[in-house]
Structure 1
Amino acid sequence: MTVPLVDLGGMHIVLVGGGGDIGTAMARQFVELGAQLRVFDRDAAALDRLRETLGAPAQIEVRVVDVTDETSMRAAFAAAGDRIDGLVNAAGIENPPMPIEDFDLAMFRKVMDVNVTGLFLGLKYGVPRMAGAGGSIVNLGSTGGIKGAALVSAYVASKHAVIGLTRSAAVECGPRGIRVNAVCPGPIEGRMIDAIYGSSPGQPSEQARARMAQMPSRRFGRADEVAGLTAFLLSPASGFINGALYPIDGGISAI
């Protein structure tokens, strides 16, 4: 039997954290590949921009959701109906670069709350709506979840937790026909990488250029490349992949 490489036609997908650069790229590709899409994000303006960017297609519904609030997440998934074929947990924030000894505890807790608690709640309320017919879950990790990095302790700790949740959920949910994998981007062009390296759109800083020079690819990645990998992991073509981590980082995790 030949399976199309990437086909999301007829799939009902929930994208948690769809207002950023990567989320927008995912939404565009999922719709182009035929999915019915619900997008959750805490930023109402970002959701409006997403619909405008994509031309307000009928396949997309958006909802303002606080991923750190259980009541908000429970209500959002309840409104998504009983059928979810694919779930992407992509909500996340970074921390301002600083040494551990100078790190503010409130900021540490905020990063962990969004990046870890938010993902946990996505699993908690998404899995029951997939258990009947199976499906695919993709968690947005990071190369920061595979190796350490200086000055971003909260972010790295949170992404290591994402990997742990992914592996645990894969083992727990696999017998119910639910696959759980993680996509682990390295530096990806967009707002987050500009904030980390002090760049501006289209104008990489000296620090960003130095980082690119250290990478085997000699460039940062693009959001559409992350979206393409995520679409593959949601699709039937990846049906025997479960509990896997996919670096998409231009080779930096190989160093």
Structure 2
Amino acid sequence: MDKEPDLMNNNSPLYLHYKSQLAKSPLFQGVSNELMEDMLDCFRPIAWRKGVTIEPSVLVDRFHLILSGRVKMEHIDAATGNWVTLFVLGPGDGFDVIALLDGKKHEVTPVAIEDLQLLGASTETVREWLSLYPAFNKNFLPYLGERMREMENLVADLGLKDTITRLAHLILRHTISDPLPDKEAYPVKLIHDLTNESLAHMIGSTRQAVNRHLQELRKKGILDKHPRHLIVRELEALKKQADLFLYHNPKHEPSSSHKL
């Protein structure tokens, strides 16, 4: 397998750091040390500044692994300018797995939520890994399945649930089940400090509706009262709120496409 020129080598002062970060990714866990080093040689470091938006065409040729920072993956309607956020990805995540599989342009736009440190490798190289290295393929398939399940959940939420239930479900999916030390509270990962507008784009709603529903969840004691940081206080109550729509009588509820 050809390796790209001018890539990192084990004499780099950052080499061990990159290697340790790679090992933490769900895509590379359990990969042997020797294979990890061979794969690392095919990566090169990339930095994106906060707010950078990347053209989808870039993702056809290069696969990216996040070392630090967060990126949101958006689908933008060229005709209307409207968009929906499909995923928020963080350290250890890779993108774009769809373009990696079929080699075609995927209409999803990465937007850096904060400064990003990435490792990039050609999609052709990573595609070869799927055939050559069973240990990598064994990790990749469940990871791909998780992304597909998130997409399935998003479609089901948009079509079947009201807005506050979609919001509760979104928060629940990002809530860490282990409480904070010495506190009866549960941290929220990746989306904990997003604006209400950003959260709205993840559930197909509006900033005003999200603001209203967050206030309601805080009033119920489900969320911490901090206005700019999501922390779950009552995990079981959040789970119940996330499934609330299932118990509603549709004869007495407006259509989910009209209820905000």
Q: Which has the higher helix share?
A: 1
Bigger RCO of structures 1 and 2 (CA < 8 A, at least 6 apart): 1
Bigger radius of gyration: 2
TM-score, length basis structure 1: 0.31
